[in-house]
Structure 1
């Protein structure tokens, strides 16, 4: 009984004197930095078809998990189909799809070890639009995403990406 009481007291005190850091405010420097990196990533993926920029934002051992497309292991394995697709597109024409981050959906949670920032979890909700036969954008899926960002040698790179809970356009 004394042991159980001791464990409860230690747990309570550890939460009082060492509170976990939660989600960052939207005006926090790290939140703003990773929001900008998110924008750069999806601009490269959907607007400019810039595989080199995308490559610079992923770790070499990057993993991508998609609830409809499966898993892709490795940065190069992820980028090969993007490079192939981009080589067939006219950069002056509207891109076949675009991504829109839903306002106020982005959240950032810092990751620390012994007080040192080493990474962050970024999550949000985005929707996609696709060109129809009249070359007009129409609503596509809406989905949630999670990025695991790692800070290595002063550079922020995505190590893991989750894309999940894809819903049809009618749901938004």
Structure 2
């Protein structure tokens, strides 16, 4: 069991350090793989599909029912998941929890780690689905004969009791989230970074010149037992937006407090004109301590010299103690986040 714990910790830490963006092709492909695999294999009990999409040396680790090889895994799926369709277990993914990390061999992609949270329900005809438990998962997908197959499955941290920190009530931020990243620490607890879709897109006029803007927010959820010092700054220099020809942009960090009640409002409730009138073409910064078990949200404003062609997405990611901000494919180091050790 100690070896299993070491394996889980290794995979979680590795996946947190090398996650791909949620708009990347690999992320989308494996999200689709997860959706098809569990809908057909778990929810619909297509056991032939299941057999063909797991490797012969499958390793399945479960924190309640132990280790299973492929043979035992297939037998247990038939016995416990697919034996009674009048009371059918159903699996649903928490899409905002999903993260994907590639694995390369001499520069060639051969596998990927996928982590997330899934919820389980009991389905009966003419009744609402009843929640039974939730759990974390770590999957290792490998490319086998040009086809993605599950090779390692870890299902752990199962719980079947709803409480304030483990409930399925909708997060008010949820419908606006573009990407979510979990960064695990040695304690097993984590920092969660969430990034929003944009609002705005209208003109802002300064010095008789029309510019275009978008308002985003990011949220850092500190589930660890330590505080973190967050430092970020955006310079007054413009950057090129590679995905939109002849387009340049500047980023700004408003000091206005981001409030949950502002999520449905235009520009997420930010008084944009007042902020830009005072700060356009100036550097901005953020210096903030994020305490243990605290959630901190803040605005990011992007201002463009012209309308952006195509989809606009941005996000904050962490790597070691560095903070990066990406606008479409333009990635910039913008600050640091350091654990405060007393």
2:111 to 92, 95, 119: 119
Whether contact under 8 Å (2:42, 2:81) holds in the other structure is no
Distance 1:163 1:86, change over 3 A: closer
1:60 aligns with 2:56: yes
State which structure, 1 or 2, has the greater radius of gyration over its C-alpha atoms. Answer: 2
Counterpart for residue 134 of structure 2? 142
Question: 2 CA distance for matches of 1:62 and 1:119?
Answer: 14
| Residue ranges of structure 1 left out of the alignment (5+ in a row) | 1-20
Q: Deviations over 1:86-135 (max 9, x none)?
A: 76445xx6x52211111311100000011111100000001111247984
| Residue ranges of structure 2 left out of the alignment (5+ in a row) | 1-16, 168-342
From the two aligned structures, give the one with the greater helix fraction: 1
Query: What CA RMSD, in Å, does the superposition of the two structures yield over aligned residues?
Result: 2.3
1:79 to 74, 82, 90: 74
Counterpart for residue 32 of structure 1? 28
Whether contact under 8 Å (2:99, 2:114) holds in the other structure is yes
Question: 1 CA distance for matches of 2:80 and 2:153?
Answer: 20
> Structure 1: which 4+ aligned runs deviate by more than 6 Å?
none
Question: 1 CA distance for matches of 2:43 and 2:22?
Answer: 25
Give the TM-score normalised by the residue count of structure 1.
Answer: 0.77
Residue 47 (structure 1) shift? 2.2
Count of residue correspondences: 148
Residue 76 (structure 1) shift? 2.4
From the two aligned structures, give the one with the greater strand fraction: 2
Counterpart for residue 95 of structure 2? 103
Question: 2 CA distance for matches of 1:103 and 1:150?
Answer: 21
Distance 1:132 1:83, change over 3 A: closer
Question: 2 CA distance for matches of 1:132 and 1:48?
Answer: 14
